[in-house]
Structure 1
């Protein structure tokens, strides 16, 4: 932390305490969304860095093994919360935080929601197809047809929801969501 070099011990202590509180809060928040606390702390620590960092630097800063650090960095990179950047004269990979919290939120939920939408729509479509087949197979059974019609209606309602969610994800990915809910500057 070179930016702290010119500070007094008291200034450094006070500043690091405020940062620790924020880092802990970021970790707890990310844990709520299914990202481990340690990866949340990693992101929080990187958030306060003024320069891109290497795996070794972050491993040393956080007291984590290089293997754990590599896994954490890969997770954050896959979630588009950090970028791998080029550094003049450095042969090691450098990483920096994507500081746009709005975009981080949009990317994270887009990735998670898109996967869920695809899985659920596939299951619903398969079940709807099977219900359609049963409708023809048990044509004369009026009480069973009523149950099938009710199930088909429920599945179609669910499909309508997932199509809406798909459009919501599109709005996050395109940035159109901010036309309806502008970012606070």
Structure 2
């Protein structure tokens, strides 16, 4: 390999590292550890990888790699793949960020909806009991009524978020906000 090729290869690796770091930081913003985000970023630039290849590239333990891959599989942004001639499991990362967005955020938002609607369902009867109790002061009943109404009002957001999730899953959001056409001349 010529010295120019060597320098160019180092520059390519540096550019990839910048993107990998950015993906790791972005996923950290959304509650996925930076190391798992870096794993996704590393896999993003590869066709497929085994756990050993991941471990070697990222200098992490095999159990950490396995845990990270499982986390990424939960979001459906990494899938197990087949590599002819290899008995080791290989994995491939989602390369299409529109698909990544759809899979990653719908799972997170669906969890938010379920957690909070379940909490409201559990909390509202408690508020109602206090609101209807003759054994507590009007002040406490008013507070319970205000809180009941506050969480009741928040349900509109969670129902809207459910619709957003469905709109992403069925692709209707992309009718309202179409992805830009990929222009190879840019």
Same fold (TM over 0.5): yes
Partner of 1:128: 124
CA RMSD, Structure 1 to Structure 2 (Å): 2.3
Aligned equivalent of 1:64, options 54, 60, 63: 60
- Note if contact 2:132-2:141 (Cα within 8 Å) is conserved in structure 1: no
Instruction: Tell me the distance in 2 between the aligned counterparts of 1:69 and 1:86.
Output: 18
Q: Could you tell me how far 1:27 is from its partner in structure 2?
A: 1.2
Question: Corresponding residue for 1:173?
Answer: 169
Given that residues 128 and 145 in structure 2 are in contact (C-alpha distance below 8 angstroms), is that contact kept between their aligned partners in structure 1? no
1:39-58 alignment runs, 5 A limit: 39-49=36-46, 51-58=47-54
- How far apart, in 2, do the equivalents of 1:178 and 1:102 lie? 9
- The offset of 1:56, in angstroms, is 0.8
Map residues 154-169 of structure 1 onto 2, 5 A cutoff.
154-169=150-165
Q: C-alpha displacement at 1:16, in angstroms?
A: 1.0
Match of 1:13 in 2: 10
Matched residues in 1 for 2:144 and 2:32: separation? Answer: 40
CA distance in 2, matches of 1:183, 1:112: 21
Q: What number of residue pairs does the alignment pair up? A: 179
For structure 1, which runs of at least 5 residues remain unmatched after alignment? none
Do 2:81 and 2:89's aligned partners in 1 also have CA atoms closer than 8 Å? yes
* Distance of aligned partners of 1:143 and 1:67 in 2 relative to their CA distance in 1, 3 Å threshold: closer
The C-alpha deviation readout for 1:7-45, integer Å capped at 9, x for no partner, is 821221111111111111111111111111111111111
After TM superposition, the structure 1 = structure 2 runs for residues 97-136 of structure 1, keeping only pairs within 5 Å, are: 97-136=93-132
Counterpart contact for 1:138–1:144, Cα < 8 Å? no
1:22 pairs with 2:9:
no
Closer, same or farther: CA 17–147 of 1 in aligned 2, 3 Å: closer
